[in-house]
Amino acid sequence: MKRAREMKAKSAVVAKTTEYEFMGPVGAVLMVFGLPVTVYYLYFACQPRSCTVLNLAVIPTDVTSYIDKDATLVVLGWFVFQSALYMLPVGRQAQGLPLKSGKRLTYRINAFFAMIVSFITFGFAVYYKYMSTFLYDKYLHLATAAMIFALMLSVFLYIKAKLGPQSALCDRGNSGYFFYDFFMGHELNPRIGSFDLKFFCELRPGLIGWVLLNFGMVAKVCITEGKPSAGIILVSVFQAWYVIDGLWHEECILTTMDIVHDGFGFMLAFGDLVWVPFTYSLQTRYLVDHPLDLSYISIAAIIAIKLAGYAIFRGSNSQKDCFRRNPHDPKLQHLKSISTDSGSRLLISGWWGMVRHPNYFGDILMSIAWSLPCGFSSVLPWFYPIYFTILLIHREQRDSHQCQKKYGKDWTRYCQIVKYRIFPYIY
């Protein structure tokens, strides 16, 4: 009986993608080429002498400016190191939300442990002078190595999906157009044995790598200037805090869109492994060469914005995660919710009664606090909040579309009760 159920689940056919995102196959082609170009653009536009939008005078054309043996080995070693930490039998196991087949996947929760070990290892590397200025000096080489790795991983994922069972595919990346499926992710939860490739890449190599890149920028300043500026310390601490918080709440990721709905392809592989570490560390890289004096009042205001953003971000994410895991949790009994035909309830008070995505609002506030220490003389260190606001507005529309499909008239009712999408009384 059990075997028959498993056979049925394996042969179940995932629906073809008929509704496109990111402007369909053409948009996917543009993204596959445009994302790496943007990473390079930000590097070359923001240089020690000048950091301006049109600063593209010196773009090297020789291969050695991009590829370097040591940087490639560091990137490869980093992935091997993180994989080994992930596989250690440390930390508990958690179950994901039920898949369409009814099955639930099990995940090892030990990213926080991996981060602590990584920080200690990095501390030793800096102490023994292996990493003092390496991350700053070889930034471009490290980014290129990470790009090649992400590309190779995406090709592997696509081939793996093609060779695997139909039932493992993702309905958002199953169009039949190579570039579209390659970009969106053809398979939903690619695994090698119990090693979940998407779950691993989402939080570990890229996020921890981003914090270490920032620390590497601080180490560079300490070597060249003697002591770091308040700005670079603020940004590094804020961003480290964001990552530490994410890894501490690792289990919350199991209910997010990336894990539940998106396939694992170029979009997430490149995003997790290249985009996050190498574009999100732009502010600290900028502050190495363009330090800024901050008054005590500015520092206090920046910290206040960060704290407000964090309270909204963490409060709302934890509230929804807790509600989805157990709607009858005594901690949530003061909150109002509406029932839906699908069986799930939707919160209409607390954080989720203020706007439809309070977590995005908090995240955007924090992103502003990360760029304020860079001042306003260049727009490039503001790339992150600008891009991130656009990303989250687009993400909110994608999510709203999915919720409309899932909840139908109940979602329309919810939207009438909670009128604003992200920004209270504005949008």
**Would you count residue 359 as binding ligand NDP (CB under 6 A)?**
yes
Positions 117 through 156 that interact with ligand NDP (CB under 6 A):
none
**Would you count residue 272 as binding ligand NDP (CB under 6 A)?**
no
The answer to whether 396 touches 361, Cβ cutoff 8 Å, is no
**Would you count residue 78 as binding ligand NDP (CB under 6 A)?**
no
DSSP-derived letter for residue 146 is H
State which residue, 200 or 352, has the beta carbon closest to ligand NDP. 352
Nearest approach in angstroms of CB 403 to ligand NDP is 5
**Would you count residue 404 as binding ligand NDP (CB under 6 A)?**
no
Positions 370 through 399 that interact with ligand NDP (CB under 6 A):
395, 399
Number of neighbouring beta carbons within 10 Å of residue 350: 18
Q: Give exposure, 306-336, as e/b (b: 16+ Cβ within 10 Å).
A: beebbebbbebbebbbebeeeeeeeeeeebe
Residue selected from 352, 370, 382, 383 as contacting ligand NDP according to rule CB under 6 A: 352
Q: Which stretch binds ligand NDP (CB under 6 A): 54-62, 173-181, 290-298, 319-327?
A: 319-327
The contact mask relative to ligand NDP for 196-215 (x = CB under 6 A, - = no) is: --------------------
H or E segment and range at residue 108: strand 106-109
Q: Which stretch binds ligand NDP (CB under 6 A): 9-17, 124-132, 211-219, 320-328?
A: 320-328
The answer to whether 188 touches 259, Cβ cutoff 8 Å, is no
DSSP class per residue in 316-347: HHHHHHHHHH-TT-GGGTT--EEE-TTS-EEE
Nearest approach in angstroms of CB 406 to ligand NDP is 6
The answer to whether 268 touches 160, Cβ cutoff 8 Å, is no
Number of neighbouring beta carbons within 10 Å of residue 178: 14
Residue 391 and residue 153: Cα distance in Å, rounded?
24
The C-alpha R_g of the chain, in whole angstroms, comes to 22
**Would you count residue 317 as binding ligand NDP (CB under 6 A)?**
yes
**Would you count residue 360 as binding ligand NDP (CB under 6 A)?**
yes
Nearest approach in angstroms of CB 231 to ligand NDP is 21
Residue selected from 313, 351, 370, 383 as contacting ligand NDP according to rule CB under 6 A: 313
Residue 227 and residue 250: Cα distance in Å, rounded?
34
**Would you count residue 274 as binding ligand NDP (CB under 6 A)?**
no
State which residue, 278 or 360, has the beta carbon closest to ligand NDP. 360
Q: Which stretch binds ligand NDP (CB under 6 A): 77-85, 128-136, 178-186, 356-364?
A: 356-364
Backbone angles phi, psi at 335, to 5 degrees: -90, 145
Q: Which stretch binds ligand NDP (CB under 6 A): 131-139, 143-151, 370-378, 400-408?
A: 400-408
Name which of 354, 355, 335 is nearest 345 in CA terms. Answer: 335
Contact residues toward ligand NDP (CB under 6 A) are 256-258, 313, 317, 320, 323-324, 344, 346-347, 352, 357, 359-360, 363, 395, 399, 402-403, 406
